[in-house]
Amino acid sequence: MRQLSIWLILLAPLLAVAADMNYGRFTGSVKTEWLRGSATERRMRLLEDFAYVDPKGKTWLAPKGSVTDGASIPRGLWTIVGAPFEGQYREAAVIHDVYCETKTERHQDVHRIFYYASRAAGVSEFYAKVLYGGVVAGGPKWSKGSSNCFVGCHAAITVPSQVETVPKFTEDDAKRLASWIEAENPSLEEIDAFVALNFRPNKAAHP
């Protein structure tokens, strides 16, 4: 009995590491068809359901018929991590795109899940954190109710339902973020705080 207890103590750190490495999993595969449009058309339509199951067991579904184009990933990131359909994170980008379009979950949760889905897709910790910080700083944000920004910027109107902003996020912003992450290896919470301090909401622009 004592020997078993010793083994459990020795195994505890390994079990903790294994738990930390649970980034969830994808179900199905991304099957799409290109949509026709302009010369720069990037949109694709899902031909089958595709989903990501997060570490807590919640399913994030991208249903058949959903349209994805990588637009939820700030272009400022592309020179560092690759374009959405080129990098290892392309499956995670599909989930992120769909939920940024439907807005059925909080944007904070959608961006956080993008990190875990990127890790599940095989993206390294560093690049996944850069991706996460990038979408937190420059990805779509939405909230329910009226928008003071819309009232102040456009007219004295009330915008019902979901109000969306897309903050400006440049290549220089991405390089600054990546340099800090490389130097500090921060937690996701520390990335949230860094973004809140260094990337001001007043840089936001409406799509």
Give pLDDT tens digits for 163-195. Answer: 678 788 999 999 999 999 999 999 999 999 999
CA pair distance 207, 166, nearest whole angstrom: 6
Whole-number percent of the chain with pLDDT over 70: 75
Nearest to 31 by CA among 62, 53, 70, 54: 62
Q: Is residue 10 part of a domain?
A: no
Total number of domains constituting the chain: 1
The angle subtended at Cα 46 by Cα 120 and Cα 110, nearest 5°, is 45
Q: Report the chain's mean pLDDT, rounded to a whole number.
A: 82
Q: Is residue 188 part of a domain?
A: yes
Half-sphere exposure of 17 (CA within 13 A, CB side): 5
The DSSP output letter for 46 is E
Angle between helices 188-198 and 171-184 (to 10 degrees): 140
Range of the domain at 59: 24-205
Q: Is residue 9 part of a domain?
A: no
Q: Is residue 180 part of a domain?
A: yes
Q: Is residue 2 part of a domain?
A: no
CA pair distance 113, 60, nearest whole angstrom: 9
Q: Is residue 136 part of a domain?
A: yes
Q: Is residue 18 part of a domain?
A: no
Q: Is residue 170 part of a domain?
A: yes
